[in-house]
Amino acid sequence: MVELASGGVYFSGLGNGTDFSKIIDQLKSIEEIPQKRLTLWQADWQKRQDAFGELRTEIAAFKDIVDSMNTMSKFLVKTPSSSSETVASATTDASVLEGSYKIEVNRLATSSIWTYNTAFAAKTTKVNDSGSDQQFVYTYKGTTRTINVPSGTTVDGLKNLINNDPQNPGVKAMLVQNGTGYTFQFRGMDLGATASLSVGAGTNVTGISSAPANWTVQANQNAQYRVNGWPATTWLESTSNTLTGAVEGMTITLKDTGTTQISVATDIEKIKENVKSFVDGMNAIRSKIKDLTAVNSSKDVDSPDKAASLYSMQKGSILTGNYGVQLLASQLKTATADKAAGFEYQYKDGNLLRGDLYSSLAHIGIMTNAETNSLNAGLLELDEEKLDEALKANPTAVAELFAADGLPVSDSSDFSYYSHVKGVTKAGVYDVTYDVDASGNITNAYVGGQRANVDNVNKQITAMEGDARGLALQIDNLAAGSYSSRMRIKEGKLSGLSDQLKDMLGEEGALKILEDNYQEIMDDIQDKIDKEVTRVTQWEQRERLRFSRLEATLARYDALNKSVESQIKSLSSSSS
């Protein structure tokens, strides 16, 4: 038997019939000790890499959760319901105001449809059998097309000539089976009063007349509707039956004439579900980190002489004390503990209440368990009663804390937000100062402590440097004097966290760097293992040759010994 630590060798059978193969095998076991140690060392590094793979899986799953609700429209779910779905239905985003909206539909937007009054017995019925080419002429939205119709063309062929025309301006021909034959129908594909269609007088196809009396025509027209009784005596019009601007934040689909009430309410239960998903997703990562870095002071450890792994010799877990894990854990802790970027604690400014109703997760009942001996130590805990109170008071403020994305807030009536550059202007709180001279011109403007560009034509200032770069403000107070206040660009927890998780998972993130480093270490160990395998193989070949020569020598001595013994016996017999 060979022990990894001591390298002891035991064998028996020396003398006659010595088993040199067993001797070599035991000696080989000693030679393989460095290789075995390297293999165990490599396995320890593999465990570390596998542990990071588990952590990567949890982070990726959490990122999916975050990305599923990282905008106001996803997080602040507002549910519309229509009292008459047959008249109109609606979808909403977070900007729509709760309440009831009366929608009256006087008529729907329609397209122009020309249906030929005379049916064709079959698709193969010819519309041109004159022996020469004829023309089908039509005008759609001001564009006139002339389709050449060769002799022998069937009604189905005419349909295909129109539909396959490379310069078709947006019309569709079709054959409608009516029970006794086929009706030729010709329509514009756009809705509204501007989408006019007509069959031109230049049409001379034998089987289809251009005379209006031979066609049934549906006129193209705009939809007509009212919202909450306005306008009282006329109608709003739309070229589409899908209204995107009638009510801010609402898309209304008109279906039929009539009246319906569309009610909009905030889906509080969906918001709570989103909050719980956030807490559960974050805790899944934190729990995994706890498991991978835990220290068990009561754990029985192996002695170094008999340990099969580094981790069987220590009280810690696979990634205990790992700097990369500590860095990730710190980043995740900061993401939940700090105020959301651009948010402010509420404070009184004279008679005004400024800041945000909720600026940190603690304000809505999400806290980190700080009890060292608790099973949930380090995990987020949700106080549902406090969350319910926050949602009852202001669900929009709760949603902003999580999902605001570049939401502007001016702390002054002297200036207002104009625009910012997404991806360039960072979320934050920025001091704004500017002077106005006696002529009403803006001078000495600063945003975030950096001199801003002044546009006195449009009365705007724009930050050109620092974190506020790209932030443009409209100056509303142009009376001579000096002014100062603040502008905030708010970013909820989820928006920044999504970017942070993306970085963690990216090619330059801590996880990827550590995994690659561990792989390089394992590859280096594998090179050493390969060299050891080659060395032991070569050693074994040399030893087998050496013992083979020894065996041959012993065989010669054994034969000589037997010869001497035989001669001694012969001499003894002669002496007798």
pLDDT digits (tens, 9 = 90+) for 201-257: 999 999 999 999 999 999 999 999 999 999 999 999 999 999 998 999 999 999 999
Res 13: pLDDT: 41
**Angle 79-81-82 from CA coordinates, rounded to 5°:** 155
- Picking from 99, 104, 57, 90, the residue whose alpha carbon sits closest to that of residue 289 is 57
Given a cut of 70, is residue 340 above it in pLDDT? yes
DSSP alpha helix (H) spans, 469-509: 493-505
Q: What is the DSSP string of 278-343?
A: HHHHHHHHHHHHHHHH-B-TT-----TTT-SSGGGSSSB-TTTT-HHHHHHHHHHHHHHHSPPTT-
What does the block give as tokens for 454? 């002044």
For 478, the 3-state DSSP assignment is coil
Three-class HEC string of 401-460: HHHCEEEEEECCCCEEEEECCCCCCCCEEEEEEEEECCCCCEEEEEECCEEEEEECCCCE
Length of the chain: 576
What is the rounded average pLDDT of the residues 62-77?
93
**Quick one: pLDDT band at residue 495, thresholds 50, 70, 90?**
confident
Given a cut of 80, is residue 315 above it in pLDDT? no
First to last CA, the chain: 52
What does the block give as tokens for 219? 């006129």
Res 294: pLDDT: 84
- Of all residues in the chain, what percent carry a pLDDT higher than 90? 65
Contact yes or no for 528/38 (Cβ under 8 A)? yes
Phi, psi values for residue 256, rounded to 5°:
-165, 165
- Picking from 262, 268, 243, the residue whose alpha carbon sits closest to that of residue 254 is 243
Res 17: pLDDT: 61
Res 200: pLDDT: 93
What is the rounded average pLDDT of the residues 18-31?
82
- Picking from 163, 157, 162, 168, the residue whose alpha carbon sits closest to that of residue 128 is 157
| Least confident residue range of 146-150, 311-315, 385-389, 438-442 | 311-315
Distance CA 327, CA 335 (A): 12
Q: Output the average pLDDT for the chain.
A: 90
| 49 sits in which H/E element | helix 33-67
User: What is the four-CA torsion angle of 149, 153, 158, 161, rounded to 10 degrees?
Assistant: -60
Instruction: State the residue for tokens 């509303």.
Output: 476
pLDDT digits (tens, 9 = 90+) for 266-298: 999 999 999 999 999 999 999 999 988 887 777
Amino acid letter, 453? N
Given a cut of 50, is residue 16 above it in pLDDT? no
pLDDT digits (tens, 9 = 90+) for 296-306: 777 676 666 66
Distance CA 70, CA 55 (A): 22
For residue 150, cis peptide bond before it (omega within 30 degrees of 0): no
Amino acid letter, 420? H
| Least confident residue range of 17-26, 414-423, 501-510 | 17-26
CA R_g for the chain? 43
pLDDT, greater one: 19 or 440: 440
For 272, the 3-state DSSP assignment is helix
Contact yes or no for 493/401 (Cβ under 8 A)? yes
Distance CA 81, CA 72 (A): 20
Distance CA 338, CA 379 (A): 16
pLDDT, greater one: 294 or 383: 383
Give the Cβ contact number of residue 511 at 10 Å: 20
Greatest mean pLDDT range, 263-267, 293-297, 330-334: 263-267
Domain extents in the chain: 20-50+509-575, 78-109+223-266, 113-218, 269-401, 406-491
Distance CA 234, CA 225 (A): 9
| 106 sits in which H/E element | strand 99-107
| 380 sits in which H/E element | strand 380-382
Given a cut of 50, is residue 9 above it in pLDDT? no
Distance CA 544, CA 115 (A): 99
